[in-house]
Amino acid sequence: MEKSNQQKGALCILCAALCFACMSACVRLVGDLPTFEKAFFRNFVAALAAGFIVRRQKLPLTVAKESRVFVLLRCIFGTCGLLFNFYAIDHLNLADANMLNKLSPFFAIIFSYFLLKEKVRFVQVLAVIGAFCGALLIIKPGNGLQVFPAVVGFLGGLGAGAAYTCVRKATMGGVPSPVIVLYFSLFSCVMCVPLIVTNFVLPTARQFLFLLLCGTFSAGGQFAITAAYSFAPAKEISVYDYSQVVFSAIIGFFLFGQVPDAFSIWGYVLIIAMAVLNFVYHNKFEPRENT
């Protein structure tokens, strides 16, 4: 029996979530290399993949004048979000770091209100407040050395949310997604170069292998998530993206012996519950696309 487009989209989202969870594990397995080097290799591979797609599809690299500022903001916010997320991965449980990064859709609601002038409904406000309360359970203010990397992870989610909002604005202006990915990846690599030069650490063969795997899993996740949203709209399948936290918790347990504490688990439950609330609301009150 042929799968519906929604089922195909959900399957692709799950594949993307697994790829990104594996990417996070590879970032951790690379070890003590500077965060900037890890980000450079991750985006260098992504740039090659995006460049291949752009060339294969013969997409124009020219960006309309009214969309340029949003592509630039996507590059800036995306780079900051990526660096913050990688730092959090190195200093927190994988599941904690990934869950804080998954606050991005809630930040996107806030930025969409200011940048896209979209109406924010009461249910969305409730979801944002609930998600941020869940983030506090993960951050655990007053927990000493773990607070700083947790706050950095929180800011990584903010950066990603702002970046995704800018992506939406740019694509609404007619800029193809692969072109945005290409510019972001190149921008991020260029920004990392001066920081790498001043504090370069030569990776070992093992570290280099995990850097390549990090970029490969990242590219695989990008391809899978792009395919997912070509099958079905975000409002129908985005909730499945939170499976990345489950994958990360499993990988973190078996590879690093990480076990989230009770506060973090309750934080996961609250954030995912708010994501489900937002998901159900959109599917109930917005028209469903045929699949």
Q: List the chain pLDDT tens, one digit each, 291 residues.
A: 346 788 888 899 899 999 999 999 999 999 989 999 999 999 999 899 899 999 999 999 999 999 999 999 999 999 999 999 999 999 999 999 999 999 998 998 899 898 888 888 899 899 999 999 999 999 988 766 679 999 999 999 999 999 988 988 888 889 998 899 899 999 999 999 998 988 889 999 999 999 999 999 988 887 888 778 778 766 678 788 899 999 999 999 999 999 999 999 999 999 999 999 988 887 776 655 444
Report the alpha-carbon distance of residue 109 to residue 86 in Å, rounded: 23
3-state secondary structure of 258: coil
Say what the pLDDT of residue 237 is: 80
3-state secondary structure of 196: helix
Give every CB contact of residue 146 below 8 A, 6+ residues apart in sequence: 91, 92, 140
Contact assessment for residue 25 and residue 254, using Cβ atoms and an 8 Å cutoff: no
Residue carrying structure tokens 């970032």: 27
Contact assessment for residue 73 and residue 166, using Cβ atoms and an 8 Å cutoff: yes
Tell me 142's DSSP state.
T
Q: Count CA atoms within 13 Å of residue 104 on its CB side.
A: 28
Residue carrying structure tokens 């949310």: 161
Contact assessment for residue 282 and residue 241, using Cβ atoms and an 8 Å cutoff: no
Report the alpha-carbon distance of residue 4 to residue 232 in Å, rounded: 9
Say what the pLDDT of residue 5 is: 81
Say what the pLDDT of residue 287 is: 53
Q: Is 1 exposed, middle or buried (0-12, 13-18, 19+ CB in 10 A)?
A: exposed
Give every CB contact of residue 246 below 8 A, 6+ residues apart in sequence: none
Which of 43, 95, 30 has the alpha carbon at shortest distance from 260?
95
Report the alpha-carbon distance of residue 225 to residue 217 in Å, rounded: 12
Say what the pLDDT of residue 144 is: 65
Say what the pLDDT of residue 1 is: 36
Contact assessment for residue 237 and residue 5, using Cβ atoms and an 8 Å cutoff: no
Give every CB contact of residue 265 below 8 A, 6+ residues apart in sequence: none
Report the alpha-carbon distance of residue 75 to residue 89 in Å, rounded: 21
Sequence ranges of the domains in the chain: 36-198+242-285
State the alpha helices, DSSP H only, in 57-146: 65-91, 94-101, 104-115, 122-139
How many residues would you count in the chain?
A: 291
Residue 55 tokens, joined: 């060339």
Residue 94 tokens, joined: 């994988």
pTM (2 d.p.): 0.90
Question: What amino acid occupies position 234?
Answer: A
Question: What amino acid occupies position 27?
Answer: V
Say what the pLDDT of residue 3 is: 61
Report the alpha-carbon distance of residue 216 to residue 164 in Å, rounded: 21
Tell me 280's DSSP state.
H
